[in-house]
Amino acid sequence: MRKTVFLNTNKVVISGNICSDVTSHQSQKGEAKRFNIAHNLSKDEAMFLTVVVLGNAKSTVESKVSAELAKGKPVTVEGRLRITKNEKDGKTYFNHEVLAEKVYQTETKTIEISDDGSEVKFVDEDMPY
């Protein structure tokens, strides 16, 4: 007998700059850390997401979230997407959050793009040559 199974996958990997202070709050699963990141979609447009670090993931990234990761720092976050629905004053709002499993501090690189867009090269600003 052959059976077809559809695997539901909810995996998010997103990079951006932390754009809020890291805060702590109590949740049903204990203390959680929360911060916002801005992911640049283009020169004039950004997407803002809330990152929530819960449970076992919190102990994995606790020191990074507290010490190294601060407002303005670039990060990459791996986790699951959660969308919640809230109503306020008769209006419906949807909140998009990433439930973080891993948080990495990311390096920034400067690139040069040729006028016709055919060539892209990384520029190492620290190198004297």
CATH number, domain of 37, equals 2.40.50.140
Residue-level pLDDT at 24: 82
Output the CA torsion 41→42→48→52 (10° steps): 50
**Which pLDDT belongs to residue 109?**
67
| pLDDT < 70 regions, the chain | 55-68, 108-111, 117, 120, 122-129
Q: Say how many domains are in the chain.
A: 1
- How confident is the model at residue 70, as a pLDDT? 80
**H helix or E strand, kind and range, residue 61:** helix 55-63
> Which residue segment(s) compose the domain that 78 sits in?
12-123
pTM of the model: 0.69
pLDDT at 56: 58
Q: Is residue 49 part of a domain?
A: yes
Average pLDDT value over all residues in the chain = 79
Cβ proximity of 88 and 78 under 8 Å: no
- Classify residue 118 as exposed, middle or buried by CB count within 10 Å of its CB (0-12, 13-18, 19+): exposed
Q: Is residue 129 one of the residues assigned to a domain?
A: no
The single-letter code of the amino acid at 64 is K
